[in-house]
Amino acid sequence: MPNPNPKIPPLAVRLEALGVEPLGPEEVSASLRFRTHVAVYELVRHLTPKERGDALTIGLRALGLLREEAKDEEAQAGE
């Protein structure tokens, strides 16, 4: 008979076992749908989630769509 109260390892242990890095403060993991060229999709799908986020942040900054406050929060998180 299975144990009705199994001991669940801490989140950090479970994430490490999966080879996943825990989210940092003010980070979110989400699924988004977007339309793009096949070549762009093929490049993006091979990036890690962190690299995808960095690429999106750089692109938004280059387009002038990223608020200054978001840049400041990101810089502080990296320190």
pTM: 0.64
Nearest Cα to Cα of residue 20 among 41, 50, 45, 52: 50
pLDDT band at 70 (very low <50, low <70, confident <90, very high): low
Give, in order, the Cα–Cα distances in Å from 66 to each of 9, 30, 43, 46, 59. 38, 18, 23, 24, 9
The secondary structure of residue 65, as a DSSP letter, is -
pLDDT tens readout for residues 4-19? 778 999 988 998 999 8
CA dihedral (69, 31, 50, 57) in degrees, to 10, reads -30
